[in-house]
Amino acid sequence: MTLTVGQLEEARRALDAPLFADLAGDAQVSFEFFPPKTEKMEATLWQSIETLAPLGPRFVSVTYGAGGSTRERTHATVARIQRETPLAAAAHLTCVEATKEEIDAVAEQYWAAGVRHIVALRGDPPSEGARFAPHPGGYANAAALVEGLRKLHPFEISVAAYPECHPDSADAKADIDNLKRKIDAGATRAITQFFFSPEAFFRFRDAAAAAGITAELVPGILPVSNVAQTRKFAGLCGAAIPAWMDRLFEGLDDHPAARQLIAATIAAEMCRKLYAGGVRSFHFYTLNRAELSYAICHLMGLRPKVGAKAEAAWAAKKPRSFRAKSRNGDNRHASVSRLRSTRTECEHERT
């Protein structure tokens, strides 16, 4: 019997070892959240942080709205994470519609609050579709912002990178050159925009290396739970959604649980391929939902780093007023108490 190339390929897949069998669990992860607008959204955020914290993330970051629209909420969320949890909080900071003095003042507030990690970004204009224009008295771009932050304090600084090229860049080379300027200005690492093809990241990594960029490049992973929303995001940042992925979500508008399963499968398979290509750090765009990111991390071999003994030890040491609030049904404080139980395990992650 003669087999076609396609049949041979399917036969090879059938005989392959399971993708996620016995992974070492040596990957490092970080998670991104956005500041909540309502009490209900705040409850969802803190539930998600509580769920993901035991995985021992390197840091968790909080976004900054277009035009600085969430400045106060971002600061409040970052400061609370830093104050009430064992996690290292990273604050997003942009150049949009602010003077250097105003931006420096925000950075100083973060430093005073114990925040040592800034995600330095050029930022998006407040009006969708508008072109970025630097504030007359502000930082001209992300590289200038990085340089300015370095003059203030020894922050750990992450910047953005674009495997499929930023929409405002003339071409891929110009995009890589811009990334190199940010790294040369003092950035610690670059976190990429989301993408859906491992090959896109590998090509980008090779191009960055060829340009002399030696800083860590961390792939940004977006588990797709809302296809329409993802299409909008992709259009704004220049990311391509493969046709096959679009087809997988067809007919699932009324089946949210099925969408979740497919989203986790797609993202986990891509993470596994990135891992096979040598990637050991992943940054998850959670959209303030924990389930998909947690499932992918579990498939990648990560397990909670805090056992019942550690939690019990913290519970015994909690201040009496804290225990009273938890008994009275204050879920927010109960959640924070469980988060703080991980402090001894995670303290070494702080920078």
Instruction: Name 284's Cβ contacts closer than 8 Å, sequence gap at least 6.
Output: 29, 30, 31, 32, 220, 221, 222, 223, 293, 296, 297
Per-residue pLDDT at 17:
74
The pair phi, psi for residue 34, each rounded to 5°, is -120, 150
Given this model, what pLDDT does residue 19 score? 86
Q: Which residues contact 102 (CB under 8 A, 6 or more apart)?
A: 138
Single out the catalytic residue among 32, 50, 147, 164.
32
Q: Which CATH architecture has domain 25-305?
A: Alpha-Beta Barrel (3.20)
Please state, in angstroms and rounded to a whole number, the distance separating the CA atoms of residues 48 and 31: 10
Q: Quick: pLDDT tens for 57-71.
A: 999 999 986 555 577
User: Cα–Cα distance between 173 and 192 in angstroms, integer?
Assistant: 16
Q: How is the chain split into domains, by residue range?
A: 25-305, 307-345
**Distance (Å, rounded) from C-alpha 231 to C-alpha 249?**
12
Residue ranges for the chain with pLDDT beneath 70: 1, 3, 7-8, 10-15, 65-69, 127, 129, 306-351
The per-residue pLDDT for 7 is: 67
Please say whether the beta carbons of 115 and 79 come within 8 A: yes
Give the pTM: 0.84
Question: What pLDDT score was predicted for residue 308?
Answer: 40
> Active site includes 32?
yes
Predicted pLDDT of residue 331: 45
